[in-house]
Structure 1
Amino acid sequence: MAQHWTHQGGGWLPPRAPRPGVIPLRPLTPREILGGALTALRRYGGRLLGALLLGQLGGLLLVTAVGGAATLASLTRTAGSRAFVYALVPATALFLLFSWALAGALAAALIRPAVLGRPVASRELLRAALPRTPGVLGARLLALLAAAGPGAAAFAAGLPPLALLPLAPVALWLAVLFALAPTAAGYEALGPVAALRRSARLVRGAWWRTLGVTAPAGALALGASYVLGQWFGAPGLLLAPALLLTFPQLAVGLLYADRRLRHEHRAGSLTAEPLITSP
């Protein structure tokens, strides 16, 4: 590695890692990852929110259309009321699932611009994220099934809640092990199973480190969302869900980049562009 002269201590010191974007191009500490996520939210939050709202617009139109049709059907007494419920509830659930997956795909699409400090428009983010959204949703659902499935099955079988306590550590371990799967699916265009395998490889040897990033990121987003709702009324209530959807995923995205730096670039720091597949 090249060296340079410093006047502060009098001696030769290695140069600092370049930092073109929200993080330095070297292995990161958990504090740097969370700080980088906050910086990314500050720099790109408007464009990220714009892309999320643009993507949700189609889903909102679909839910509105289904709700309108079901409302017309509900004018015909009881059978119509059932049709309203049966049509609107699944449509709303699908919309929420789509929003959940789209937020993860958008955060994955933002990794490269954020790390390199490059501008990006909302439409560019959305164009990159939409084709990856089904894979992100599949990875999320599969990770959720792996972590919560055994406990849910045992509960459905009639086991008392206390008997399920031994499954809680296993569920937590699996949830953290597969925490990077949605980002891997969105960034590398992997299928759900391949994304879970990728996450397990990247998290191997860094389980506690992964928990130390994902848990504070979720807690920060939850606390900030509560403050927004309490202090800013209706506008805050509109922004809170977007914050809950995006900020934890930004932190996970930077953690994903950090794990790839550590696993795949041990020879030295990156100096130009990260050798991470562009979405």
Structure 2
Amino acid sequence: MAEQWTHWGGGWLPPQPPKPGVISLRPLKSGDILGGAFAALGRYGSRLVAAMLPGQLGALLLLAAAVGGALALGVRPVTVLVPAAALATLLTCALAATLTAAVLREAVLGRPAAVRTLLRAARPRLAAVLGTQLLVLAALAGPGAAVLAAGLPPLLAAATLPVALGLGVLFVLAPTAAAYEGLGPVAALRRSAGLVRGAWWRTFGITALAAVIAAGAAYAVQLPFAFAGALSLVPAIDGGLAHATFAALGGMVAQTLLLCFPQLAAGLVYVDRRIRREGLAAELTRESEAA
């Protein structure tokens, strides 16, 4: 197909790349990635919050059941609360990564996505994403754990932190690869390492900045909920219950921001790397035109 040029303002400009969704289908700058993550969050954020809600409520029920079981058995609650909290956190993180990958495809192509659609797309990939995240955690904690298991001074375990950071960035795209491409955990780690190779520092900078932004936004989101609860803006609810209710709601929204925004940024890094190395832009263009 012959290349088309357009006349604008008295000059001739090359054709602009298509932009069916939150990003233009071309190699992305860092600002494009963060801007696209903000745009995706603005467009699909409410549906992400709603889709995350069942998992967050399930995590709370798991913690409540663990504490209740411990009290019934006469066991100190903290002995079961810590592993239950770790399990709940892992499941919530896996759900957030899987839902974010489902949003990513729709956001890049500019298609609508209902909550039911996101949950339906996430369900079959949840186990693979969870397995991927567990492998990443094992890789990050492995060197330090090996040092401690050998009985060496804890200071040497701290010296392995640069290794953990290096591996963490190398595997940061693995959850997206597992969900987006339907890969298994080991294949997803290999895929991420292959895509990040040659762009480690850029990937680190973008994902670290996204995490900092998400932490600030999550804190800011919690404040109005806390104030609403403290002022008991719902007269039908007593003060203590109102405070707890609003705090829980604020915590759920903040958790969605904290987990999903960095994952959206990482997902767009994944798209950018595939555009640069594999010609993904042409495939996405064909898919958007066929819709």
The reply to whether TM is greater than 0.5 is: yes
Per-residue CA deviation, residues 205-240 of structure 1 (Å, 9 max, x unaligned), is 111111121110111111212223345423544422
Indicate the residue corresponding to 1:30 in structure 2. 30
Indicate the residue corresponding to 2:278 in structure 1. 264
Indicate the residue corresponding to 1:240 in structure 2. 254
Indicate the residue corresponding to 2:229 in structure 1. none
> Which residue identity does 1:40 align to in structure 2?
A
> Which of 105, 117, 120 lines up with 1:124 in the alignment?
117
In 1, the alpha carbon distance for the partners of 2:159 and 2:116 equals 46
Indicate the residue corresponding to 1:252 in structure 2. 266
Report percent identity of matched pairs.
60
CA contact (8 A) 2:128 2:179 kept: yes
Please state whether the residue corresponding to 2:6 is helix, strand or coil: strand
CA contact (8 A) 2:143 2:157 kept: no
Per-residue CA deviation, residues 90-141 of structure 1 (Å, 9 max, x unaligned), is 3333222110111001111111110111111112111111221111111112
Is structure 2 residue 151 aligned with structure 1 residue 150? no
> Which residue identity does 1:81 align to in structure 2?
V
In 1, the alpha carbon distance for the partners of 2:283 and 2:130 equals 33
Indicate the residue corresponding to 1:7 in structure 2. 8
CA contact (8 A) 1:55 1:126 kept: no
CA contact (8 A) 1:37 1:251 kept: yes
CA contact (8 A) 1:26 1:270 kept: no
In 1, the alpha carbon distance for the partners of 2:26 and 2:280 equals 10
Matches within 5 A, 1:1-279: 2-11=3-12, 13-71=13-71, 73-74=72-73, 80-82=74-76, 84-164=77-157, 166-233=159-226, 234=247, 235-265=249-279, 270-273=284-287
Q: Relative to structure 2, which stretch is displaced further, 93-102 or 152-161?
A: 152-161
Q: Relative to structure 2, which stretch is displaced further, 150-159 or 18-27?
A: 150-159
| Structure 1 stretches lacking a partner, 5+ long | 75-79
Please state whether the residue corresponding to 1:6 is helix, strand or coil: strand
In 2, the alpha carbon distance for the partners of 1:267 and 1:50 equals 30
In 2, the alpha carbon distance for the partners of 1:66 and 1:158 equals 33
Q: Relative to structure 2, which stretch is displaced further, 160-169 or 257-266?
A: 160-169
In 2, the alpha carbon distance for the partners of 1:112 and 1:157 equals 45
Please state whether the residue corresponding to 2:131 is helix, strand or coil: helix
CA contact (8 A) 2:221 2:253 kept: yes
Aligned length: 267
CA contact (8 A) 1:17 1:271 kept: no
| Structure 2 stretches lacking a partner, 5+ long | 227-246
> Which residue identity does 1:16 align to in structure 2?
Q
Please state whether the residue corresponding to 1:81 is helix, strand or coil: coil
